[in-house]
Amino acid sequence: MLQKQEKPKPVNGIITAIDTQSARTGRVSVFIDGSFFCGLNAATAARMRLKPGRPVDEAFCVVLLSAAEQDSALNLALASLSRASQPADRIRKKLVLRGFSEQTAASIISRLREEGYLNDDEYARKFVMDAIRLKKWGMIRIKKELSKKGIQPDSIQKAVDLQPETGTDEIVRVVLKKFGQQPDTVRVTRFLQYRGYSWEEINRIIRVVRKTSNDQQLPDGEDFP
């Protein structure tokens, strides 16, 4: 776990300044009795009606520090999601790794779901679609990979059920391109197992490969996944 900076201690004092952070858009620095106390999102500072001259006590400082932690965790999660769509469990793990509590991480995950930034059902649907279309994976590997990403079984099954039935043409084409017109059955079997096809699917694919291997020709130079 990465170490976070030590939190300031709650104090009784007066807010002496709220300065816009030049390096971080939408962020402000809150000063109490002339000393930096915490950073907040500007929207949070406005919602809490913070302004210079406002007296604060220790109880309010605790609330202020909690809001600051929530803002920092939210900003980290949103920055991560802006780079790539991710499941909720991965975001949770990133927050905990950065030193945020499980409670804070859970709160942020809940908020992101409510605001539409996180949707494991949609993530799983897109993952399954891309894994089939681009990687030519079978359902065994797809389900395993989604499970490793922390996607719940019901979300995985819904995503799988939404996919239309696919034939064997594409994977047969991949096999012939990779192994040639007279492929070795053992090597093909291992290849298909690694990609997550069931024994029933493997047997069906091999039968089609054998049937078409004598007359199917693939364009030279065409890559397979």
What's the CATH code of the domain at 49?
1.10.10.10
Give the pLDDT mean for 186-195: 95
For 46-96, give the DSSP string.
HHTT--TT-EE-HHHHHHHHHHHHHHHHHHHHHHHHHHS---HHHHHHHHH
Q: Is the pLDDT of residue 221 over 70?
A: no
Q: What's the chain's average pLDDT?
A: 89
Q: Are residues 110 and 18 in the same domain?
A: yes
pLDDT at 85 over 60: yes
- In a shared domain, residues 67 and 142: no
Do the domain assignments include residue 222? Answer: no
Query: What's the rounded mean pLDDT across residues 64-92?
Result: 95
Whether residue 204 is contained in a domain is answered as yes
| pLDDT per position as a tens digit, 109-146 | 999 999 999 999 999 999 999 999 999 999 999 999 99
Asked if the model's pLDDT at residue 164 lies above 60, the reply is yes
Domain count, the chain: 3
Q: Taking the chain, what is the end-to-end CA distance rounded to the nearest angstrom?
A: 37
Residues 85 and 142 in one domain: no
Domain extent for 46:
13-114
53 and 37: one domain? yes
**108 within some domain:** yes
Contacts of 129 (CB under 8 A, 6+ apart): 163
124 within domain boundaries: yes
User: Residues 69, 94: one domain?
Assistant: yes
The answer as to whether 140 is a domain residue is yes
2: in domain: no
